[in-house]
Structure 1
Amino acid sequence: MAAALGAAGTRYALREIRTAPVAPALERTNFRGRTVTLAAGPALAVGASAAGALGAPSVPAGAAALVAGLGAGAVGLYDDVVGNRPEQKAAKGFAGHLAALREGRVTAGMVKVAGVGAAGLAAAVLLVADPTVAGHRRRQGQGALGRTVDVLLGAGVVAGTANLLNLLDLRPGRALKSGVLLGAPLARGPHGGLAAGAVGAASGLLDEDLGERVMVGDSGANALGALLGVTLAARSGPVGRAAVLAVLAGLTAASEKVSFTQVIQRTPVLRELDAVGRRSD
């Protein structure tokens, strides 16, 4: 049910945003020079967050989905719009945004990083207090320090997954495919509805994205990743969260040195999967 709601809600939101007065400001040129719209980003953020919240097993988990998905989507949209300005394009990657900050410049990318982190932190606070989340009984006997560590680990998982999906959003359909592949195994169990809503929303946009009519941008990729991060955090105890966070941190660090696109192109299985459904002309 959550998956169907995610797909339907996202496509409805996309139609509404495409016909709104703001639509021309969301037009961009993709890597092949085609004009596409970023309307898919906020549509995905709204549709996936609402469906994930409706599919959540508890009120705190639903609130965490809304906070993470809408929060990450909103700051991602800010970066999509403001970060497109010429003076913002010089800072590349996390290292570039930090360098700009040391120079006294706050880039749109840094606003996005801080905003996604804040959304992840708020979602993690909600999850730690949720009795349906893995490890809740153990947390009841923890002191303030233990609960703080648990919150920080959860926030790192949410923000790290949001960032990972964003790093993959360099070719049509890649971020959505990655979200579906990551989310499908998570769409089962007590917190499966959280992931199912995100997977359904992503699936509902795949044809538009692969056809190079839309682009999910930072807004959609961050929101999709954040919602999957909420699911991962809800299903994991502190050890599991730490393990997931270590993997996410490693991939993020690697992205500063290695091009994911080049790795995909050099790996036959990944290259074929990446190309499925994409326009060849």
Structure 2
Amino acid sequence: MYTYFMTIMLFCIGIAITLLSIPMISKMLENSGMIRENYRGDMIPVGLGLVFIPSLVINSIILIYSNIVPEKIIMIYMLLFASIAMSFVGIIDDSLGNRGVTGLIGHFKALFKGSLTTGAFKALLGGFVGLTLAVTLSKSIPNIIVATLVVALSTNMMNLFDLRPGRAIKAYVILAIIIFLASAKFNREVMMLIVPAVLAYFYFDLRALTMMGDAGSNVLGVSIGVFIVSSFDLPVQLVSLVLLVAIHVLTEKFSLTKIIENNKFLNYVDKLGRGL
């Protein structure tokens, strides 16, 4: 049964576990040589998006234990499966990725020439994860196609935003708030499986102390996709898909950073808190 107590409890547990996980996972990555130069030239740990997983798993156990309705349990497993799968492929890209190929189109061009990049592998897995979720939710072909594309493009969208400290998480929080307010009660509990971890990590990303990498941005994106396809019907999913396609087309032609810098409001929001 939905209660405000459950939402608050999951939120607090998610914050606590993530704050405990950050220094341990950061040290683990440093010891493994997962250090990369950021946009300012500082050498910082990369792949800290792994910190989203511990609280996600523990909160999922709590929410599954407190529910007996199969449909609700399936929704929890959908988020759990999608997040772990995309974090897995993300850490592969963070550690082995070839930065010589950029952009979704660039990775698929390389694939068609017979060269599988980590970026193409990530995109393909994202598509299959989206398809798995889509066929779980519906047996209608149009619904399956739309849901698959929404999940796959949502996942990649957060990679597009994750080019400056805090930018992707700011976009994520705005989208999560909109979805939270428009969602059913149980869907809000499901959101508490991952949102608290993102908020707990926000400071470290904003201050450029660490990079969450694709191991994190993939989780942000796929969770937004899961929230959309599990919370809303086809018309809303179609609107979401149109917006996602538009963002991808725009960023293939123009630099997202330049677009943000040339808009006073977006530039203000983008830099807010970064210099503290």
TM-score (normalised: structure 1): 0.84
Partner of 1:38: 46
Partner of 2:5: none
> 2-side partners of 1:40 and 1:260: how far apart?
23
Query: Equivalent of 2:76, from 55, 62, 72?
Result: 62
> 2-side partners of 1:241 and 1:53: how far apart?
28
Partner of 2:145: 152
**1:199-233: per-residue Cα shift (whole Å, max 9, x none)?**
21111011111121111111101101111211111
Could you tell me how far 1:45 is from its partner in structure 2?
4.2
Query: Equivalent of 1:77, from 84, 91, 95?
Result: 91
**1:70-98: per-residue Cα shift (whole Å, max 9, x none)?**
11111111111110xxxx22211011112
Query: Equivalent of 2:225, from 217, 226, 229?
Result: 229
Could you tell me how far 1:49 is from its partner in structure 2?
6.1
> 1-side partners of 2:247 and 2:58: how far apart?
29
One-letter amino acid matched to 1:26: M
Q: Any conservation in 2 of the 1:61–1:127 contact (CA below 8 Å)?
A: no
> 1-side partners of 2:214 and 2:250: how far apart?
19
Query: Equivalent of 1:26, from 21, 28, 34?
Result: 34
Could you tell me how far 1:52 is from its partner in structure 2?
6.3
Q: Any conservation in 2 of the 1:14–1:39 contact (CA below 8 Å)?
A: no
Other structure's SS at 1:233 match: helix
Aligned length: 259
Q: Any conservation in 2 of the 1:79–1:108 contact (CA below 8 Å)?
A: yes
Identical amino acids, percent of aligned pairs: 27
Instruction: Report the CA distance shift for 1:51/1:265 in structure 2 as closer, same or farther (over 3 A).
Output: farther
> 1-side partners of 2:60 and 2:144: how far apart?
21
Q: Which moved more, 1:260-269 or 1:198-207?
A: 198-207
> 1-side partners of 2:155 and 2:203: how far apart?
22
Partner of 1:135: none
> 2-side partners of 1:169 and 1:64: how far apart?
24
**1:232-258: per-residue Cα shift (whole Å, max 9, x none)?**
111211222122111111111111001
Partner of 2:267: 271
**1:171-208: per-residue Cα shift (whole Å, max 9, x none)?**
00111111111102222433112333332111101111
Partner of 1:16: 24
Q: Any conservation in 1 of the 2:47–2:214 contact (CA below 8 Å)?
A: no
> 2-side partners of 1:52 and 1:230: how far apart?
15
TM-score (normalised: structure 2): 0.86
Query: Equivalent of 1:218, from 190, 214, 218?
Result: 214
